[in-house]
Amino acid sequence: MAEATVTPVAAPTARRLRDYGVYAALGILVAYNLLFTGNFATLANLNTQLVQVTPILIAALGMALVIGTEGVDLSVGSVMALSAALLPLYLGYGLMPALLVALLGGALCGVFSGTLVAVVGIQPIVATLALLVGGRGLALVIADGRLKDIRNPMLLELGSGSVAGIPIVVLIAAVLTLIVGFVVRYTTFGRQLVAVGGNRSASVLAGLPVRRILIVTYVISGVLAAIAGIVATARLTASDPSAIGQLAELSAITAVVVGGTPLNGGRVRILGTVAGALLMQLISATLIKHNLPTSAGLVVQAVIIVVAVLLQRPRLAGAK
């Protein structure tokens, strides 16, 4: 019924731009490359682009959930490094125990920041900043500050092998995207997460287990960051805690924001996050292919971030 709609709604163009702009930008960039960049439309190049983006994409999935609760997880890069440092420790017992230990490390990091945020009541940016600093330090201590070569054949296969022409790491990222997307959309937890981010006091009054939801969200982010660290290690064929995950938190936040997830919570866009990560990857790839300096790429990325944030403004995004 039309009369029920009284609150002014966002200018439709602005809202559509916010919701679908990232896909349009990605489409335009792909079209441009197909036309003007040599060797772009090859399977090899496609795989290269996808493989390069996987660690950031996986970390960004967790970031999207945290941002959906009106938080932010600055620790993902350090958790990646920590998981990379933990991985070789137990490789002697086989791949499975090593992976489990690395994932457990990520989960514990999530418990740590989640508890600080949900129980102690520290602001997410500060709570995860502690782990951003401490996590990498711990990783370097564990690894004794050294790079360790990976010789486990299964782990190397995971990093460079492919199934039916698709790199395994890309398959992993795809499966994780589907799982996280499903969790957000169809599970009780996912819906409650969005509610907590949208209106925390309403969620408390509605009797939602707000603390538990927040902690679990940070744990998921920690585990996904650990997976990202494992993938990065497998691709690098070495555990390098000083390099792995450097500034990954910022790239992940960029992917999430460019993908249309508002920083003030209450909305999680998983597919948008994937598109955001791909867009950022493709921008730097395009500029490199055209022999422009990487610094130019940073400027372009900055412009895109500003545009994305502008589109999120409440005035454009509809009445609050």
Partner 1 sequence: MTGDVVLDARAVGKRFPGVVALSDVDLTLAAGEVHALVGENGAGKSTLIKVLTGVHPPDSGELVFQGGPVRFSRPLDAQAAGISTVYQEINLVPLMSVASNLFLGREPRTRWGLMDFRAMNTAASTLLRSYGVEVDVTRPLRTLGAGVRQMVAVARAAATDARVVILDEPTSSLEPREVDTLFAIIDRVRAGGAAVLYVSHRLDELYRICDTVTVLRDGRKVHSGPMAELPRLRLVALMLGRDLEQIRKEGTTKFDSAQPEARQTPVLAAKGLTSPHLLHGVDVTVRPGEIVGLGGLLGAGRSETVRAIAGSLPVDSGTVTVAGKSVRSGSVAAAMRAGVVMLPEDRKSDGILPDLSVRENIVLAALPRLSAAGLVSRKRQDTIVDTFIRRLRIKASSPDQKVGELSGGNQQKVLLARLLCREPKVLLLDEPTRGIDVGAKAEVQALVAELAAEGLGVVLISSEFEEVVEGSDSIVVLREGHVVAQLRGGDVTEQKLIAALAEGGDG
Chain residues that interact with partner 1, rule: CB under 8 A: 1-7, 9, 186-189, 191-192, 194-195, 198-199, 201-209, 266-267, 318-320
Residues forming a β-bridge with 238: 149
Tell whether the torsion through CA atoms of 23, 29, 32 and 33 is positive or negative.
Answer: negative
The smaller minimum CB distance to partner 1, of residues 6 and 44, is found at 6
Contact between 229 and 82 under an 8 Å Cβ cutoff? The reply is: yes
Residues forming a β-bridge with 166: 163
How far is residue 237 CA from its own chain's centroid? 22
Contacts of 79 (CB under 8 A, 6+ apart): 105, 106, 109, 131, 135, 222, 225, 226, 229, 245
The smaller minimum CB distance to partner 1, of residues 191 and 289, is found at 191
Shortest distance in whole angstroms from residue 304 CB to partner 1: 24
Q: Report which DSSP code applies to 31.
A: H
Half-sphere exposure of 115 (CA within 13 A, CB side): 7
Determine phi and psi for 167, rounding to 5 degrees.
-55, 140
Shortest distance in whole angstroms from residue 88 CB to partner 1: 35
Shortest distance in whole angstroms from residue 188 CB to partner 1: 4
Shortest distance in whole angstroms from residue 122 CB to partner 1: 18
Contact between 26 and 275 under an 8 Å Cβ cutoff? The reply is: yes
- Nearest C-alpha neighbor of 288 from the set 28, 19, 49, 20: 49
Contact between 225 and 129 under an 8 Å Cβ cutoff? The reply is: no
Shortest distance in whole angstroms from residue 132 CB to partner 1: 26
Shortest distance in whole angstroms from residue 191 CB to partner 1: 6
Shortest distance in whole angstroms from residue 20 CB to partner 1: 17
